[in-house]
Amino acid sequence: MNLFLHVTTKRGLRALILGTASLAAAVAVLATPSRASTITFNPNGGGAGAISGVSGFGYATSSAVAVGLPTPTVGATFNVFYESVINATQGTASTIGSNFSINNSANQFTVIAGFRETITNITNGTVTFANASGPSFATGTTSPNFFEILANPTSSGVNPFTGNGANFGSGTVILTGHLVDSVNGSFNLTTGAGGAPVVGPFNTSGLATADTTTQSLQGGGGTQLTVQVDTANSGYFVTAPTFLMFSTTNSLPFNSVAPLTGFYSGPNATPNITYPGTPPSGFNTGTTNALDGNSLMFQSVATSSFSSAVPEPSAIIQALTASAVIPLFLGFRRRRGRKTAV
C-alpha cells in the first residue's frame, strides 16, 4: 500500500525521506469484531499450562532500524528490521517474569521481522513508497519479507532494552509468516522556531549502548502491518492464528530503552546486521541519527492481535480514525549544519 508524504524542500537542505509502512519490531491486529479471533497458546510447548482465549501479544519496547537511507530517486530501496520479546498475552492475562518467561515457563519468546520498501513515485514534493515486491506487500516471500516468533530458554539472556541483539533469532522457530498488506503511516517531526526540525539527544534512557550516535531528529508516529501465518508449532500454538495484525508506536529519542546494535535478517546464530557497518550487512546512524548516517534507528513498542481474515479497507479506516497517527519515517540530511524546516 502506498505512503504519501508532502515535503517542502528549502535552500541549503538535502531532503532525505525514509518511509516505512512497516516493521521492527512490532505491530498489532486491526481486526473488526466479526474477524477477530482467539487462540490457545502453550508457553511450555506441550503438556499442562495452555492458555486459552488469547487474542494477541504485547511486545517489550525495543529497537527498529531502516538500513540504507536512499537518496530520493524513484526505484531506490531500503530494508527495515525489528526485534523484541513478548511481554504480555492479551484477552487472557498471564504472569510475565523478569526474564520474560510466561506463567513461569522455561521459555521466553522473541520476535524478529524484516521487509523491503522502495520509492515508487516523486511528484511535486510527494514521495510514494511501496513494498519492493509490488504495489503492496506481496503474498510472496521476497527477501527480506519475514516474521518469526522463537522460543528461547530463559537463560539465553535476550535483552530488548540494551545490547547487541544476540540470541533474538537463535531459538526454536515456533511461528513463521510474511507481510501481505500495510496501512499508510507517518512520522510527526518535532519542530521548533520557524518550523525547523528539532535536533536533540539520541538516547535519553540512561542505558548504555555501543552505538556512538549522540544526536537525533525528534518525533513520533506509528505503523500498521498485516502478517499472514505460514507455519505454527502445534506444541505452542494449540490453535494457530491465520493473520497477525501488528500496530507499532515509534519515537525518537530513545527514552525507555537503549538502541540495539545488532539485528537479524533471518534465524541465524548471531546478529548479521550490526553497528557500525555498511548496508546490507551493517548500519551506521552517524553522529546525528537521520541526518548524517546511512541508516535510521527508532524506538518501537508493538502489539499484535489475531484475525481469521485481513480487515476490509473500511474497517482499517475506522480503526485508524479511532486510534491515532501511523508513521512514515523522515530522514533529513543537512548542509553546513543548517537545520531547515521540511
Cα distances (Å, whole numbers) of residue 194 to 17, 191, 339: 20, 8, 10
Spatial separation of the C-alpha atoms in residues 222 and 301, rounded to whole Å: 9
Instruction: Supply the pTM of this predicted model.
Output: 0.79
Domain annotation covers residue 340: no
Domain annotation covers residue 88: yes
- Number of helices (H) and strands (E) in the chain: give both, helices first: 1, 20
Residue 22 pLDDT: 35
Spatial separation of the C-alpha atoms in residues 245 and 235, rounded to whole Å: 22
Retrieve residue 147's grid coordinates: 516474521
Q: Are the CB atoms for 187 and 331 separated by under 8 Å?
A: no
The H or E element spanning position 314 is helix 313-323
Average pLDDT over residues 119-140: 46
Q: Are the CB atoms for 18 and 135 separated by under 8 Å?
A: no
Residue 74 clears pLDDT 80, i.e. is over it: no
Residue 66 pLDDT: 85
Residue 194 pLDDT: 79
313 φ/ψ angles, rounded to the nearest 5 degrees: -50, -40
Domain annotation covers residue 112: yes
Residue 116 pLDDT: 78
Average pLDDT over residues 153-182: 90
Domain annotation covers residue 190: yes
In DSSP terms, 191 is beta-bridged to 197
Which of 83-97, 178-192, 218-232 is predicted least confidently?
Answer: 178-192
Better-scored residue on pLDDT, 109 or 13: 109
Residue 268 pLDDT: 83
Average pLDDT over residues 319-326: 36
Residue 7 pLDDT: 34
What's at 59, amino acid-wise?
Answer: Y
Q: Domain span at residue 91?
A: 3-334
Domain annotation covers residue 18: yes
Total domain count, the chain: 1
The sign of the CA dihedral 307, 168, 97, 60 is negative
- Model confidence over 234-291: pLDDT tens digits? 999 999 999 999 898 989 999 999 999 999 988 888 999 999 999 888 999 999 998 8
Residue 189 pLDDT: 73
Domain annotation covers residue 309: yes
Which of 66-70, 184-188, 192-196 is predicted least confidently?
Answer: 184-188
